[in-house]
Amino acid sequence: MCELLAMSANVPTDICFSFSGLMQRGGNTGPHKDGWGITFYEGKGCRSFKDPLPSAASPIAKLVTEYPIKSQSVVCHIRQANSGGISLENTHPYTRQIWGRHWTYAHNGQLQDVHNKLNVKYHIPVGETDSEFAFCWLLDQIHLKYKDKQPDDVELFRYVAELSEQLNEYGVFNIIITNGECLFAYCSNNLHWITRKAPFGKASLIDAEMEVNFNHETTDKDIVTVIATQPLTHNEEWQKMSKGQWQLFKLGCSIASSETVE
């Protein structure tokens, strides 16, 4: 199984600390050695770094840990291949355009026979993975439902949640999706999240000998939410998502969830 990492923040923030821990799970402290990728948003633009090499041994991953790119939305993935070969085109996250914005997606899990049971027409996969195929199908359904009239954020991602539930019927479908403004997470069996805000404290990574005092790196107005497959620190209280639960974040804050009262 792969591992996911994402961030939503109300101010441009780097993810070097969290990524430094996650990258070790790509072939060092974990078995996810079949490639990795990360996408940072800067306004409506985004930049991606990908490598089919294990993240723990990747010079590009080392660059990312040392290059403090400031972003308000980030999606990251380390891969343990189970569908599609080890190659750049099969490396998450995947990015496509809809309504003039880049949408980025990463998946943890395996979906059985989706290539034969579901159809895609408008967003054709580049690689071979069940993950990318599911993303293309999901975007097709959004296009067919809304055409060129984008709904408000909560309505849109409630529909994404409905589509995620359908895809989850084919296997395991833990996902992160962002359009650069909203960050959506759906849990099939394993996702955790934490929101850091004042008063900030210290955090220590599980997978690397690294500690940071966020009180020295932030202001009292900063809000940063991090989502990961497994907690990345051992001295903070992470929230474990339950099966079928989803969360929608914007600027670091939760704006809707499967538990939101209508």
Residue 261: its pLDDT value, please?
47
Query: Which of 72, 79, 107 is closest to 190 using CA atoms?
Result: 107
Domain 3-257 has CATH 3.90.1310.10: no
Domain boundaries, the chain: 3-257
Which of 2, 136, 182, 187 does the annotation list as catalytic? Answer: 2
Any catalytic annotation for residue 2? yes
CA atoms within 13 A on the CB side of 163: 23
Question: Helices 130-146 and 153-168: crossing angle, nearest 10°?
Answer: 140
Residue 260: its pLDDT value, please?
63
Rounded percentage of the chain residues whose pLDDT exceeds 70:
98
User: pLDDT below 50 — which residues of the chain?
Assistant: 261-262
Give pTM, 2 decimals.
0.95
Helix (H, G, I), strand (E, B) or coil at 172: coil
